[in-house]
Amino acid sequence: MTYSKTLLLFFLMLGISETLKDPRTEFFPKLEEKPEAIPAKENLWVFILAGQSNMAGRGKVEPMDTIPDPRILTINKTGVVILAKEPLHFYEPTLTGLDCGLSFGKELLKYIPDSVSILLLPTAVGGSAIQQWIGDETYRNVSLFSNFKEKVAIGKQFGTIKAILWHQGESDVASRETIDIYDKQLGVLFSKFRAEVGNPNLSICFGRLGSFSKTDESWQAINAKMEDYQKTDPFSYLIQTKDLNHKGDFIHFDSEGQRAMGISFAKAYIQRGFIVVE
């Protein structure tokens, strides 16, 4: 093959490669960064992210979402502590996108002491139903509650578990039966979460389903059950999502919605008095 033909083939392959580039992963970070030092245990606040796809994240990751803050940490799939960059979740590599974790952390930093850092532990798996979490079923190759327990152990090793962020419910709108018991299921699961952490008063923040579903009546029925449960649990708080948009599929929050949800979680955590702001 002549030099000119080789060069032509090279540029042809390069063009095909650019064409085939996955827009979902276009801005995914290329490198993991480890912190210069892991903070002392008393100075590391741990938050666990749990639920299904709208917590695992399906938004488009953009450059702003991959700018780390040295005070916001997470783990990689082998459990090594690294600087947090989106996407945080790694259980569904062909689906995962932007979640609300990093925006939550960055907003929370505005209110907490400068000596405190944050560790975000991802456990959400898209499509998982609440009963599967309660029963520790394996879904998409993840044993849901066992995986949560593993992340609790990591959290206790490095810091103090302050709260759980939960977003789930889309998988439970399928039948009247699962809708009717959803508030009771929340009670069972949240009790299991708190028992595993060892704190019966552990803060749990959970979010309503969006207001954009093609089966909105069922989604709002789940939201009503969330509201019923929240009234019974003074250590839980429920954020609004009605003003957030979907990414075009009428199921998943878009990137702007994910960032807004993280900010709402952080503000609710502060405003409900779970920590003292000086």
Chunked mean pLDDT (size 10), the chain, 278 residues? 50 44 93 97 98 98 98 98 98 97 98 97 98 98 98 98 97 96 98 98 97 94 98 96 96 98 95 55
Q: How far apart are CA 92 and CA 214, in angstroms?
A: 25
Residue 26 in tokens: 């276009």
Q: How distant is the alpha carbon of residue 111 from its chain centre?
A: 21
pLDDT of residue 8: 44
Residue 185: its H or E element? helix 182-197
pLDDT of residue 13: 47
pLDDT of residue 11: 44
pLDDT of residue 18: 42
How would you classify the pairing of strands 160-167 and 142-143? unpaired
pLDDT of residue 275: 52
In contact, 91 and 76? CB cutoff 8 Å? no
pLDDT of residue 272: 72
pLDDT of residue 4: 53
What is 33-271's CATH topology? Rossmann fold (3.40.50)
Q: From the CB of residue 56, how many other CB atoms can be counted at a distance below 10 Å?
A: 30
Q: What is the pTM of this model?
A: 0.91
> What is the maximal distance between C-alpha atoms in the chain?
77
Nearest to 235 by CA among 209, 211, 206: 206
pLDDT of residue 247: 97
Q: How distant is the alpha carbon of residue 186 from its chain centre?
A: 18
Nearest to 74 by CA among 94, 56, 101, 40: 101
Per this entry, what is the length of the chain?
A: 278
Sequence spans of domains, the chain: 33-271
| 141 conformational bin, left if phi > 0, alpha if psi -120 to 50, beta if neither | left
Q: How far apart are CA 61 and CA 255, in angstroms?
A: 7
